[in-house]
Amino acid sequence: MSVRAADTQVAHAEGVRRLLQSYREVPAAATVRLAKPTSNLFRTRVTSSAKGLDTSGLTGVLAVDPEARTADVAGMCTYEDLVAATLPHGLAPLVVPQLKTITLGGAVSGLGIESTSFRNGLPHESVLEMDILTGAGEILTASPGEHPDLYRSFPNSYGTLGYAVRLRIELEAVSPFVALRHVRFHSLPELFAAMDRIRETGALDGVPVHYLDGVVFSADESYLCLGEQTSTPGPVSDYTGQQIYYRSIRHENGVTLDRLTISDYLWRWDTDWFWCSEAFGVQNPRIRRFWPRRFRRSSVYWTLMTYEQRLHIGNRIEKLHGRPPRERVVQDVEVPIERSAEFLDWFLGTVPIQPIWLCPLRLRDDDEWPLYPLRPHRTYVNVGFWSTVPVGSTEGETNRLIERKVSEFGGHKSLYSDAYYSPAEFEKLYGGDVYSRAKERYDPDRRLLDLYAKAVRRR
């Protein structure tokens, strides 16, 4: 072991020690929470005065094994830092969520997705083993062969069974560049038919497809964005400056071509938070020119958004213009691909939000994950929409309507944002008895929040 590797291991051990010490210092009657400088959750929570767990020593990459194509990573390590450590070896995680400050532990205990998910599934499927601080204050190693019930129940548990301290994950080889094809469609059924063919064959018109996602601007303007790994050198685009990635996708007809470095491809959506940076004026060329490049990232926009919500700036502006306040509709849902065109047709005719992000996914193997029970051997499409709409006559009216429709279409909804399910509906959709048994075993004294309390009651 090198001196640097030994130092990393010592630092991690010290970080674990501080984590356990901070757990012991939380009063028995208080709920255990993490102390985190960043978040990618979009639901408000009840303020707590209890001191959070110290995770400051759990933010690094512990080791990268280029031969085994694995990485050992601390639970609070961001994908930005993880990718920076693996790319020099020509490797990357099998799924790299779109935003730089998403942590590996967060993507596994919640859900992550990206344009490799049509072939690599979801981030938790590439976890070989993980050390978890349970609600009982123990650190247990969970894997398919060791504490398998915890291993299977941890994804989508959102810190209600425990927190990932260390994870060992699979990596895959990547090339230095990604050649892009943006394919225009004038019909959503045609787009989803092409998406399904690509998932089946791994190619379009004989050209391999290693990355696949899409954008819907309207019923008659939608795109598939196809990426092919390549080592061929050549000019590349830069969307961290004045140019904006999602705008480069749009064209009248046919196919347009582009090229990015692998790093810029992985973070293509982070610079402008997909398209949501527009809310802060950053897409205005006169403002963008003076907006520092280091501030063109999702974490900055998220911080600005928290201030806006705290001060209710948006609703104050709406009131000045004589308009009703706005309901936040920030959701990602999974819909079976064969129902996706029908769902989008309903959504575009009902909810005034565009653009919409599309990302196909399929579980890698026959195993099921009970807290987010997608069916093996079935293709789903993640539909992402992030904006606001005028408030209705009841709290969360549009979000509730979307929840009902997603269930009608045989889909599922991620829990990183607002949810309104009844306890019975929630239990049916998110683990039921499997979750209850895991909760009883690994958090018997209920030191951690219950999933329903956290996701729906916003505690």
User: pLDDT tens for residues 24-80?
Assistant: 999 888 888 887 655 656 556 555 556 789 999 999 999 999 999 999 999 999 999
d(CA 417, CA 112): 13
pLDDT at 377 over 90: yes
Choose among 333, 277, 262, 293: nearest CA to 96.
Answer: 262
The model's pLDDT over 98-155, given as tens digits with 9 standing for 90+, comes to: 999 999 999 999 989 999 999 999 999 999 999 999 999 999 999 999 999 999 999 9
Alpha-helical regions (H) of 220-371: 245-248, 262-266, 285-288, 298-311, 313-320, 337-350
Task: Please give the structure tokens belonging to residue 335.
Answer: 């819909």
**CA–CA dist 368, 181 (Å, integer):** 33
Residues 230, 234, 235, 240, CA torsion sign: positive
Q: What tokens does 56 get?
A: 């400051």
| Local structure of residue 274 (DSSP, 8 states) | T
* Position with higher pLDDT, 261 vs 3: 261
The label of the residue with tokens 């685009």 reads 237
How confident is the model over 154-193, as pLDDT tens digits? 999 999 999 999 999 999 999 999 999 999 999 999 999 9
Cβ–Cβ under 8 Å, residues 372 and 430: yes
CA dihedral 294, 295, 297, 302 (to 10 degrees): 150
Under DSSP, the state recorded for 32 is: P
Q: From CA 384, how far away is CA 98, in angstroms rounded?
A: 12
Of the chain, the percentage scoring pLDDT greater than 70 comes to 93
| Cross-strand partners of 131 | 141, 166
Whose tokens are 């979009």? That residue is 42
**Structural tokens at position 29:** 């009657």
Token pair of 392 as six digits: 């209705």
Going by the DSSP 8-state scheme, the letter that residue 450 receives in this structure is P
d(CA 210, CA 225): 11
CA distance 421 to 428: 10
Q: What per-residue confidence (pLDDT) applies to 34?
A: 80
User: From the CB of residue 1, how many other CB atoms can be counted at a distance below 10 Å?
Assistant: 9
pTM, rounded to two decimals: 0.94
Report, in angstroms and rounded to the nearest whole number, the Rg of the chain calculated over CA atoms.
22
What pLDDT score does 312 carry?
72
Give the contacts of 433 (CB within 8 A, at least 6 positions apart). Answer: none
